[in-house]
Structure 1
Amino acid sequence: MISGAQTLTQEQVQQFLSLPEAQQKALAQQYGLDINALKKSQTTTNSKRLEPAPESPVRPLPSDEEERFRDSDVPNNRMEEYGYDWEPDEDYYSYEQDWLLRDDGPPAERDQRQRSRYEEERGSYSRESREENKERYYKDRRSEQFRSEASSTAGKLKPFGYDLFAGAPTTFAPVTEIPIPAEYIVGPGDTIRVQMFGKENQLHELIVTRDGQIQIPQIGPISVAGLSFNELKDQLTRLIQQKFIGVESAISLGELRSIRVFILGEARTPGAYSVSSLSTMTNALFVSGGVRSTGSLRDIQLKRQGKLVSTLDLYDLLLRGDTSADRRLQPGDVIFIPPKGKAVGVDGYVQRPAIYELRNEKVISEVVELAGGLRAEAYPKFTKVERVADGFKKTVQDVNLLTKQGERFGIKNGDLITVGAVDDLVEGYVKILGEVSRPGVYDWSPGMRVSDVLHSIKSGLKPLADLDYALIVREKSAYKDIEVIHVKLGEALSRPDSSANVAMLDKDRLLVFDKYRSRSKMLAGVLRKLKAQSSPTEKEKTFSVLGTARLQGKFPLPANYSAKEAIMAAGGIDPAVTDLNYAVLVREINPRGDIVVQYLDLVDIFSDKARAGYVINPLDKLILFNKDASRMPLLDDVIGRLREQARPGHPPQYVTIGGAVKFPGSYPITENFSLDRLIRAAGGLLDSSYTLQAEISRINVSSAKSDLEVFNTPVSSLDNSRTSQLKAMDKVFIKTIPEYAERYTVTLAGEVQFPGEYVVRKGETLSQVIQRAGGLSSNAFIKGAIYTRERLAELEAERLKEAEARLKRDLVSLELQLAREGKPGEEILPADLSTLENLLSQVKESKPLGRLVIDLNALMQGDQKQDVILQEGDKLIVPPTTQSVTVIGEVQFSTSHIFYQNLSVEDYIKRSGGETAQADAGRTYVVRANGSVWLPGSSPWFSQGAEKVGPGDTIVVPLETDRLSKLQLWTNVSQIFYQIALGAAAVASL
């Protein structure tokens, strides 16, 4: 075991000894510290002069509740109540390791040493027994979880003033930054600085000895104890002038003495403290950590030699900044904090709700003044005082602070004073909320109208106030049930004599909304109240607007509300986006929630042609649609509810439309639902629609069976109302004009008179489009023409993927067989692996062209059998005349050669260095310039045309595959090489 005094700094020792005894023992055992040695070193150090205080002398203090929790033994069965885990977390480690990790030395070395020690000590801690962990952890924890639990009473009143001491001292060093007053009394331990200048220049720092003297060189001892600082300066200045001719002096105080004082009673950390000789009562209180919540802030006593010298009321400091009663301390003084005296709570609409300690306050007005006075929205007429009366019964008394009698209402210990707000008024007021310059509560008088209330507000409405939609919320019964009234503010203010200028009643609330912001936040409380006051016999008086309304949502329903007003309540619509020809109103018709759907024409609604059916009922849902988007997301729920309420004899009330309309799907059927209305609902016809007839499928149900009836009807103009009437479950199919817009785009490139993209009709041929393009140029290499098709490229890509997969599979089999046999000289050699891997790499890099082999030369000579019917995306590339022959595959050097008419296949191969050792010369083949394949020296298989090499041809020397016959690779390899050679030949011909 090592001595703590030898390994820790004095500050670390002080922090260690300030910990609870149980934690001291645990840490001493863990880190090998000697507690007795640490205490002895602390006793020795206390007799020495303390170091200057750090820049920040306080640290955050735990609350009283946390201290009690920390110092108590928490039963294991209550740990879950505090939300703690069983194992310590980072909070515990940082708290425990803080003093152990501090050290001296270069920053880099110190950081590394601290990190290593931290990990070592953390591992040591984690190896301790589970029970020891729990006991230490719960006693010492100051985690955020505890603070959250301790602050769960944040809504309750807290004692006033104790947060002044929200920190505890990080050191007990004296405060030396206080200016020295002229009346300061010099005593033993003070340092006096004497600066001589003139004939002689000397600086002397003289310490006052225990007998009150200082020793001045060449003068001797001088008694200075008991002198004030001014008296000391005068005496020493005269003495130096007498003893030293031509010498001036400057007298100042250096380091001051420390004095020991006692802080007792309800102090947070009672005990003896060494403080500066300049310290006052408040300085000492801060150093000790302040006053506990059970101590008095208004009767802090200063006692000297057993007698009461002064009392300090901290409320003077907190409320008025008065420090006149803050007396300076002397050695041996005692600061005694008695228990808290009488107190009352002040809650409600005051500036500082809290619990206040009483001293000389007798009446309620004085206590309200302690709380900072009343807030702007307070209504002092309705103030309540809760009191525990005789017989331990709780009573409540109403006090009117607007009267002299109310101001003089006497208070008692334990009273709770609650000041009400204007919101709590009972009568004679109206409230204005929302987009007004001065929202709040205003006096109400009979006959008052909306314009009267708004005109009483100096600045009136805000710029973005909605002039078409405002609401008055009115209580209509003793049960505080509400109703809403729609107000058109613009009309009410511009025409005060109109019916829009609604008369306001007592306790009305006028809600003014922002024209461009959601109303949901302001309406939330109103909607909750309307829902709460609904019943099985009275529906909830709300409606919803969904879809393209600017501010869609749920809204309160005023009486006799029209569909136009409902849309304006949701901020209106954007005509550029909204489908004006189709909207629906979904209405519940019975307590079961069955619905019917009404068709709405927004053009009629906004032109004030609305019929009685457009009046909004409770729980109606108005759905508006985007004219360029599908209707199904908004109608899925409606269609689902129509399916659910279907029953025998009453099929689901919707129809389905498909074909050449913008938005095919199912739509609710309404009264007198015609074909033209269904087409409007589906967004209208496409330009390809066949309007001579539409096909309607209808199921006719009888008591015994059902028959399917299919008939055609003309698709008339949307302006013609004489159209077929539809029934539930009808299916309508709008046909498309035959061959409408069936035109393709093909590309002609290269040696064509007018190359470019051409639009062709269905069935048009290649020769026809070449003729439209002016034919081929004189430099065209007709035999090398490349014709590609997108569909063929897709098929070739699929085949290449299949070939690649087969080759990978064979390659894996070859590797396994080679690894299993492992004998050189067999049919399967390691070189084969490299060959197949190279082949696989070529396959991966191959890009399908989708080439269609055509004989363009024969076609241009009039052979119509060679003509091609064009498809979308076809492309013809006619290269310029070429004089090259390309040799690829298993030759020494793959390259292209100048075409000579008399040279054979073997001649061209010799010019490329001849075949390699892996070449299969017997299977050499030629890819013609037009894409066809010729296998020289064999049967007519693949043979086309004269057996001569021509310009633009590609000679392919394939890989010898006989020795790989065990794997049956010939089919795979031949197909792969065919594809690669085909692509290479096409590229070489460009």
Structure 2
Amino acid sequence: MKQFRLQKIIFILPLFFCVMLATGQNVQSVDVKELSDSDIEKVRKQMQDAGLTEQEAINLARQRGASEAQIREFQQRLREGAVSIDSLSAVSNAEYNMEAMKDSSLSVRKDTFNTAVNIFGFSLFNNKKLSFEPGANIQTPKNYEIGIGDQLIINVWGNSQNNYELTVNQNGQIIVPDVGPVYVAGMPFRDAESKIKQRLTSIYADMGGNNPQTFAQINIGELRAIRVNIVGEVMSPGTYTLPATSTVFNALYLSGGPDTIGSFRNIKIIRDNKLFQTVDIYKFIVDADPSDNISLKDEDIIFVPPVERRVEVRGEFRRNTRFEIKEEETLDDLFRFAGGFTGNAWLAQVHVYRKTQQGLQIIDVLHENAENTILKDGDRIVSRKISEEFENRITIEGAVYQPGEYQWEEGVTLSALIQKAGGLKKDAFQNRGMITRENPDKTKSNIPFDVGDVVARKSDIVLQPEDSVLVKSLFDLREEPYISVSGEVLTPGEFHFSDGMTLGDAVFVADGFTEGADSTFIEVARRLSYKEAAQVNNQLVHIFTFKLDRDLRLQQGDAQFKLQPFDQISVRQAPGFRNAGKVTVKGEVKYAGQYAISEKGQRISDLVIMAGGITQYAFAEGATFERTNPILGSENIAVDLPAILAGAGGHNDLFLRDGDVLFIPEYIQTVKVSGSVQNPFSLTYEKGVSFKSYIERSGGFDSRALRRKAYVKYANGSTASKKGFIFKSYPKVLPGSEIIVPEKPAKENNNTSQWLAVASTFSSIAVAIAAVLR
């Protein structure tokens, strides 16, 4: 009946593994992710209608070459469709398939691991880079024990050819045609192979002897599945169906491994109702010893008991975590599990913190006693850092060739340290040095010494640990000498002073004169001497004036005047030198463009003449003038160009400056009305039309208009506003003008509390007046 159902599934499941078998397609090419939800539901329903368990279908697919990844994806799709695994399985409700268990263990582990203290080995069976998932398609080991349900494939070639596919029956036999039953169940594969070949010689006579002519090869075909029970303190206990080649680690991996209270070192394998072996995972983790990873058999029980002793290590260990300790193991074994000590560990002793019924205890354990120290459950072992303080250090800094830290030895002297540091530099200040010494109470004291006497061995000092020696440079004890060069030189600034530097040298290091420099009038300001500065007087500096050759040729006077540190050299500009200024004219002139200011006193009218005058289309009233002010920056100046052209040289006719821009627009035929009017717009200019008429043409003032502040902005940038109080005079409107009507400022509404405060104030005043009148 079971064989009939397994054949039936090939035709019933056209959407997944079995359709591939029926049509001859490659099962491994099926992409389960591409199947629709309706396809998966059809598969599920057909399996139920056929009375097949999910595990039966999976075993068949695995035997036909389906990968574990395909099987896992198929089971995941079934679960996503809200289909219970148990409802699809005809086996015990405690049986779990591989990937279903793996997924559940991962979800449990995620929550547990986030809240649990780190435990050594806890993540071993949940590591993406280390998989213990059992493999179904592997070469059969020679020591594999043949069991009921295994398929043996026998290939015969040579003088005779034949092929057999035989399954081990319930009696533990294979039935070889013309040979009869051969009992192989429970035999290692190598022994079964020899036995079968020996029995085949009864029908293939030339297979034996020293010169055989017929040969046979025996292989394992389809492996049987075994059921393993995993119980105790594991992430997901249950019954697992696994390939017959599976090991202990395969099963633990699928169950998620021991949980937070499960033992990693006392895992019991129960076979035939007897304790077969105890597995210690630490052998694999610590020593890479896989000997405990034994092969499983059908109906094996893996029992993970609770941990008995767990201790924690902290501090300078290579692994800071919690470890499981067996009864006979000592502190020395724990050091090995923790990977030993870091390079910063204090190796004299470790500290064991132990909880007792009376409270905490601390136990100091010398390293030589570690192998005799037995640990208890809950112990915390701490390794401290070595001290960061030096015990034999001396330091020298400053004007020596090799400053830094050196080894202190008994009787080492100051002169020996200076010699060890490469000796004094040429700029060393030899009148005084200083030793900073650490006192027994960690305070500091200073010991001065004569550097020259120490180097000459006229005197010496015996050093102590942590002494710090300082030898200053000559340049450390005086202000850095410099000179400053300002004015008409290419690179003004401060420059390093050197003995013998002259005025010509100073101009040379400043990259020479500019084109506008007056080399005949150079000023040098010099500080007062120490003696002069010690007296109270009104003089601040000494002033010297010189002249130099512009080509900086050496001259006798130049060479005789030697500069001193902190001299200030000023190079003046030649009185008649001016940079060639340029002005620009744009718009309605005959020759727009840039023009040079040829002499002082040129005005705007001169610029218009240089440009050939204005054109017939020019709107002189709208001319604008732009200038860059060194203080105010860029500014627009309202100019009256008609008045300038009518009377050159008047107060409106400004003098030209470098960078000035004059713009004369074309005649403008519009007037713009903007601001708080009903219809802000531009209107055609009509001579004689008044200010109020343009407002009316724009729809009049709106409700927000501040009428008394309305004004006209003319094309040249100037403005005019209404005059008079009783007899109002509105400004004249010209072409290109803009009439601007501002808005009234927003009023702040007094809230109720403010009115109440006012009322309260008046009430108080009224009461006071009434009291006085009485």
- Could you tell me the TM-score, scaled by structure 2's length? 0.49
| Structure with more helix by fraction | 1
Higher relative contact order (CA 8 A, sep 6+): 2
Larger radius of gyration: 2
